[in-house]
Structure 1
Amino acid sequence: MYIKEAAEQAGVSIRTLHHYDQIGLLSPRTEEQGYRVYSDEDLIQLQQILFFRELGFKLSRIKEMLNDPQFDRDAALQLQRQALIEKKERLDRIIQTIEKTIKTEREGGTMTNEERFAGFDFSSNPFESEAIERWGKEAVTKMKKNTEDLPVNKRFELEKNLNELFSKLARCMSKGPASDEAQTSVAEWYRYLNVIGDYSPRAFKGLGAIYVEDERFLRNMEQYGQGFAQFMCEAMEIYADGLLN
């Protein structure tokens, strides 16, 4: 089938399929007139790509796995199925927590901390392996252990503090990443990270770069405002360079 039909069947945009072709992730046969033609095998590979994307894998990592001669499609499907079941179960628990919270707010009553935070699990970080690879096992392991040792309500408080800090940083965007206000808040972010982990200035600088390079982090950061990821990247680089020099 041609690209328009393939996109409609898979529920993705034509632009997405063009991008996959450009990066060599999914390259269908091209007719003399320049039209892309997708075979059944191409669509099977597209399905694999979308399963991995649903689980948060980077396109570069998906390409690496699919091009591996040892890649086992059946084994991959089994792993994807199990991972998605776990994700579904966690989301179901969070939905139940939301429904119970709504009922409590409307009808009155109280919820225990266990009920209020049921479904949240900050110890299960889907990016942990990638973080260890990029930033070093020691820093991530320390941060993970420190957060795991906290009660659930304390973990929630950490997330709340992080949101407040990022909101404050977002308000500094108009003044520029090198402004005193931005650098003061970035210093607070650096100290915050080193309370729950062990980040060197170089690792801190690398973390800022990932905010822009990795579309998953980019998407999360942009909720604080368009261009926030780039702003953080530059502000963290300036702060880290100041510590290194």
Structure 2
Amino acid sequence: MRGLTTSRVSLTVDLVGPLWRTLPWRALAAAGALGLLVAATPAATGAEPAPWQTLLLLRGAALTGALGLAFLLDDPARHLTAPVPKPRLARQGLRVALVVPLVALWWTAVLLLTPSASRPPAGAVTLEAVAVGAFALAAAALAVRLTDEARPGPFVAAALLLIAVIAPLLAPEDWALFVQAEDPRWSAGHERWAVLAAAVGAVGAGCGTEPLRRRRGRRQPLVRPDGR
């Protein structure tokens, strides 16, 4: 058992380098830079935004970061790495684990760039960002599972952007997902954000499992009693 655990850890460590090199750094860097620019708009222009404007900027930055995460599971060598003796869920989880510290630093910078006087509660808006990012990753995992596309990122990002546009219009008013910080429904709305983040995280993990391949039935040759 100890040797098996050691071999698994060794295999995981050996995968870190190849996975690090195949991460979509251009998409992640572009989304990160754009998100920082969105958050830094008031400081760059000298404006003093109202609380609802600052919240809108933070939500825009979170969406921009999620668009970058939509490319995280893109793997040009996907069909070559399929035979690797490491489950897909583990490989995808390792990709996420490699990026999470950088995303955390990026989001901290986003929060610090927004004016503190009009900044909404950091914990609540961070929960929204986590839910949106988890949704992007779950959508990417679903695309990988349902298609043979090595780079589903562009499609996933486009779908995420479309959903972000129509979700405020279609979401039930009782859910209060997109209310302002001074709204009495703010706390209740973020309880739903927490449930949403957990749900899409579970969906993403479920999509990371290897699909069961259907075995094609093969006709067995008819063997006569005489062996012919």
Is the TM-score greater than 0.5?
A: no
State the TM bucket, normalised to the shorter chain. under 0.3
Task: Using structure 1 for the length normalisation, give the TM-score.
Answer: 0.25
Task: Using structure 2 for the length normalisation, give the TM-score.
Answer: 0.26
Higher relative CO (Cα under 8 Å, sequence separation at least 6) belongs to 2
